[in-house]
Amino acid sequence: MPFRFVTKNIHAYLIDYPVAVVLLVAPFALKLGQSGQVAMWLSVITGVAALILPMLTEHPTGLIKIIPYSVHLWVDRAVGVVFLAALFVFSFSGIAAWYYGVLGVTVILTTSVFAGSEKPTSPLGVMNPRKAV
């Protein structure tokens, strides 16, 4: 499996909406509100935004395709940075610290390190001598 395996389709179908649901449900299931209201509501508000963003993105699950996929990825990366910064700004501890730490690192890795090319590639690529110019 290639190092950069999270393609636009994988991101659209398998990541965007499931992550939004996790962001909405997990704070209540994990009782993040005990650590403080910010710990709970940061995830819920991000979950609502995570439901709206894919609907507006130019990818297979977008309904109103007005946001380029590259911008969508940068918004996702910014969320990862905000989650990591929230650890320190709000002094999260316990399960809230783990929750935001793991999510922050995962989002950044998924959208940066593991993100595949937006352009489809073929096994022959530019080495195909029969390719029309």
Give the per-residue pLDDT at 122.
Answer: 47
For the chain, domain boundaries: 8-117
| pLDDT higher at 27 or 61 | 27
One DSSP character per residue, 56-89 reads: TBSSTT-SS--B-HHHHHHHHHHHHHHHHHHHHH
For 14-19, what is the mean pLDDT? 82
Give the per-residue pLDDT at 124.
Answer: 46
**What is the share, in percent, of the chain residues with pLDDT greater than 90?**
41
Give the per-residue pLDDT at 1.
Answer: 47
Give the per-residue pLDDT at 125.
Answer: 47
The pTM of the full predicted model, rounded to 2 decimals, is: 0.79
Write out pLDDT tens, residues 65-115: 888 888 888 988 999 999 999 999 999 999 999 999 999 999 888 887 556
